[in-house]
A and B are shown apart, each in its own frame.
Chain A
Amino acid sequence: MQITRKDVLHVSKLAKLYLNDNEVDKFTKNLSDIVNFADRLNGIDVSGVSPTAAILPLQNVFREDKIEKSMDREKILQNAPEKSYGCFWVKNKIVE
């Protein structure tokens, strides 16, 4: 299948990435190559085959419903680019 610049721009929007013209060209070619390579899967009959998401027979792993000590707020915030009043801080330019 042929991937177009339009496809790459659409996907980059979904993935929250800005791409410059060079990157759009390059990724259009790379994505076409990889998708064409992946198209070899089309020859396999998978009717009735259930998909495998995880390899081990583990399902619904629960823990006891009891309160345990969680991480200190300071530790959680120690890597925040900006913080204030014990919260993550983002400038109020977010209103569009």
Chain B
Amino acid sequence: MELHDKTVHELCDMLDNNETTSVELTKACFNRIKDVEDKVQAFITITEDAALKQAEETDKKRKNGEVLGILHGIPMAIKDNMCTEGILTTCGSKMLSNFVPPYTSTAVNKLNTAGCILLGKTNMDEFAMGSSTENSYFKKTKNPWDLNRVPGGSSGGSAAAVAACEAPFSLGSDTGGSIRQPAHYCGVVGMKPTYGSVSRYGLVAFASSLDQIGPFTKDVHDMALILSTITGHDPKDSTSYPREYPDFTKALNQDVRGMKIALPKEFFGKGINEEVKSAVMNVAKKYESMGAKVEEVSMPMSDYALPVYYLIACAEASSNLARYDGIRFGYRAQDVESLDDLYKKTRSEGFGDEVKRRIILGTYALSSGYYDAYYKKAQQVRTLIKKEFDDVYKNYDMILTPTGPTVAFEFGQNSDNPLEMYMNDICTVPINIAGVPAMSMNCGFDSKGMPIGMQLVGKHFDEFNILKLAHAMEKELGLNNKSKL
């Protein structure tokens, strides 16, 4: 096994035992990037010189006995919608193709402070709007398991970078499934933490009441390590929740006997591929044999989650994206006639198709005469969806579902029909609407060898039990999660 194949916790142990150095690890990642990046196309920006310099400094500190944290010297990749001071942050858009942030987002800052090394910024659907990363202004990222298929989206670059072993771990963001769905497609672990547990300061806003940053890792142990580092209250984000966040590694190697797991039948119904369904049902049976109690429940409101999600997310996006006016930062159109012309020309030239489509839907849902019928109605149904989750959690510790209706699809398959593309999010959007935490983890493969993800959905701030159940199942399944790339 080569260095780039190893997990974060294996690399941490090697660093602690002086079996390797951060420079060696960082070089191993860049060598891997040189070998496979032509095929995978996971990165928009690669920061090799800065990374090697930072790795040298990190090694020097370690030599002097100054270890910043558990992750001291571990390389990472970051989705290109998180601000990194002095490093291009494009959000996958022409609008921000020249944007070099003057500050660093809190989540990335926490990892920097813990001693992590930034390898580069990863590709994504423009402004995180999409389910395949095909909406990036820059390039199309390929699925490392099958280069003819999409990696999922919107954090497709971050998922593919970990699946292709270009980076030991990465960060993504999830508004309606943008971490979990690409994790499912690429056979890695991806977590959307509870809304409010990871600061959104410095994350380019898409839909502020739904967006949340989270990690992609190769296994559950790594997820516990990264999550322990990035969670926490941040005064710079007024929606960040002040509470104690646990050491999530304590969730590993625990007994799951007596835990109560709900299987909502609506998540296993129409449109869910049979192979996906049977892989997740296999997991449910295994949990039962491990001593957990598994029962079918009904969550009928989840059938309404998709329209609620698209109304709320697009309304918030139309408001958030009003800031792109060509005046203070980002792209500015030339040869304009007036201020209004400057705004309109800048936005028409700077935004891609999907972003325009969502701005138009969101503006429509907020416009006079339609606000009550669409936006307010969606927010009221949001209350009912959240209540349905609360009701299930009165009797159960966890909800188990597939992460998506199918495995990764081929390029172009859904790109002509927005509504069909949106259907890929059917299992993931209810979670953002309710604000609860959820994680996708590989639980098997279909007949063509494509990974299948299972989704564990916990109570608010109960990432701990998600990791506990996930780690137990990871050990039980013992799958080889490595793509052949």
How many angstroms from the CA of A23 to the CA of B349 in the assembled complex?
A: 13
- Residues of A within 8 Å of B382, CB to CB, are 51-52
Determine whether the beta carbon of B418 is less than 8 Å from that of A58.
Answer: no
Q: Which A residues touch B418, using CB under 8 A? A: 30, 33-34
Contacting pair B363 A56 (CB below 8 A): no
On whether the beta carbons of A79 and B102 are closer than 8 Å, the reply is yes
Taking a contact as CB atoms under 8 Å apart, the answer to whether A17 and B310 are in contact is: no
Q: How many A-B residue pairs have CB under 8 A?
A: 156
**A31 x B364 contact (CB < 8 A):** yes
Known: A37-B419, A79-B328. A63 touches B363 (CB 8 A): no
Tell yes or no: A84 within 8 A of B by CB.
no
Residue B327, interface by CB 8 Å: yes
- Cβ contact of A52, chosen from B306, B342, B343, B379, cutoff 8 A: B379
Other than the known A10-B367, A81-B330, what 6 A-B pairs have Cβ atoms closer than 8 Å?
A11-B363, A16-B340, A37-B307, A41-B308, A52-B383, A71-B103
Q: Is A67 engaged at the interface, CB distance under 8 Å to the other chain?
A: no
Q: Indicate if the CB atoms of A38 and B311 lie closer than 8 Å.
A: yes
**Residue in A closest to B314 when the chains form the complex, CB atoms:** A34
Complex contact A11–B386 (CB within 8 A) = no
**A3, A11, A34, A93: which contacts B310 (Cβ < 8 A)?**
A34
Q: Which residues of B, 50-103, contact A by the 8 Å Cβ criterion? A: 98-103
Can you name the residue of chain B whose Cβ is closest to the Cβ of A43? B304
Q: A67 → chain B, closest Cβ, in Å?
A: 15
Given contacts A11-B360, A41-B307, A71-B102, contact A93 B383 (CB under 8 A): no
CB of B326 to closest CB in A, whole Å: 7
Question: Which of B235, B327, B367, B374 interacts with A11 by CB under 8 Å?
Answer: B367
Given contacts A41-B308, A41-B378, A58-B196, contact A79 B340 (CB under 8 A): no
Taking CB atoms and an 8 Å cut-off, the chain A residues in 19-65 that contact chain B are: 19, 23, 27, 30-31, 33-35, 37-38, 40-41, 44, 46, 49-56, 58, 61, 63
Structural contact, A79 and B384, CB atoms closer than 8 A? no
Chain B residue total in the interface (Cβ 8 A) = 64
Is B435 part of the binding interface, using a Cβ–Cβ cutoff of 8 Å?
Answer: yes
Q: Are B342 and A90 in contact (CB under 8 A)?
A: yes
* Chain A residues positioned under 8 Å from B357 (CB to CB): 27, 30-31
A-contacting 9-mer, from B12-20, B170-178, B222-230, B331-339: B331-339
- Encoded as 1 (CB less than 8 Å from any A CB) or 0, chain B from 314 to 354 comes to 00001000100111111110001111101111011001000
List 19 contacting pairs A-B, 8 Å CB cutoff, sorted by A. Answer: A11-B360, A11-B367, A12-B360, A17-B344, A18-B344, A19-B356, A30-B357, A31-B360, A34-B361, A38-B378, A40-B304, A41-B308, A50-B380, A54-B209, A58-B239, A88-B327, A90-B339, A90-B342, A94-B339
| B375, chain A: closest CB distance, angstroms | 9
Q: How far is the CB of A81 from chain B (nearest CB, A)?
A: 4
Report whether B338 and A31 are in contact in the complex, using a CB–CB cutoff of 8 Å: no
B253, CB-defined interface residue at 8 Å: no
Q: Across the interface, which residues of A come within 8 angstroms of B195, CB to CB? A: 55-56
**Cα distance, A76 to B329, chains bound together (Å):** 9
Give CA–CA (A51, B311) in the complex, Å.
13
Tell me the interface secondary structure of chain A in the complex: loop
The answer to whether B304 touches A79, judged by C-beta atoms less than 8 angstroms apart, is no
- State how many angstroms separate the Cβ of B270 from the closest Cβ of chain A: 14
Interface residue? B289 (CB, 8 A) = no
B376 close to A (CB within 8 Å) = yes
Of all A-B residue pairs in the complex, the 9 with the closest CB atoms, nearest first, are: A55-B435, A51-B379, A79-B329, A81-B332, A75-B102, A94-B339, A46-B380, A61-B238, A38-B307
Q: Are A17 and B360 neighbours in the complex by a CB distance under 8 Å?
A: yes
Say yes or no: is A78 at the interface (Cβ < 8 Å to chain B).
Answer: yes
CA of A63 to CA of B322 in the docked complex: distance in angstroms?
Answer: 27
Residue of A nearest to B324 (CB): A16
Q: Which of chain B's residues has its CB closest to A82's CB?
A: B332
User: What distance in Å separates the Cβ of B92 from its nearest Cβ neighbour in chain A?
Assistant: 17
Q: Does A8 lie within 8 Å of B435, measured CB to CB?
A: no
What's the least CB distance linking A3 to chain B, in Å? 8
Contact indicator per residue, chain A 72-86, by CB within 8 Å of chain B (1) or not (0): 000110111110000
A33 to B75, CA, bound (A): 44
CB-CB under 8 A from A10, the residues of chain B are 367
Q: Which residues, 290 to 318 on B, are CB-close (under 8 Å) to A?
A: 304, 306-308, 310-311, 318
Q: How far is the CB of A20 from chain B (nearest CB, A)?
A: 9
On chain A, the residues within 8 Å of B114 by CB distance are: none
Q: In the complex, what residue of chain B is closest to A94 when comparing beta carbons?
A: B339
Question: Once the chains bind, are A41 and B100 in contact (CB under 8 Å)?
Answer: no
Q: Which residues of A contact B235 (CB under 8 A)?
A: 63
* A88 contacts B339, C-beta separation under 8 Å: no
CB pair A49 B98 closer than 8 Å: no
User: Given A15, A49, A63, A88, which contacts B360 in the complex, CB threshold below 8 Å?
Assistant: A15
B383's closest neighbor in chain A, by CB?
A: A52
Residue of B nearest to A8 (CB): B360
Residue of A nearest to B386 (CB): A52
In the bound assembly, the distance between CA atoms of A82 and B331 in angstroms comes to: 11
Q: 0/1 per residue, B374-401, Cβ < 8 Å to A?
A: 1011111111101000000000000000
Q: Is B434 an interface residue (CB 8 A)?
A: yes
What is the CA–CA distance of A52 and B348 in the complex, to the nearest angstrom? 32
Q: How far is the CA of A7 from the CA of B196 in the complex (A)?
A: 37
A30 — which chain B residues lie within 8 A by C-beta?
357, 361, 418-419
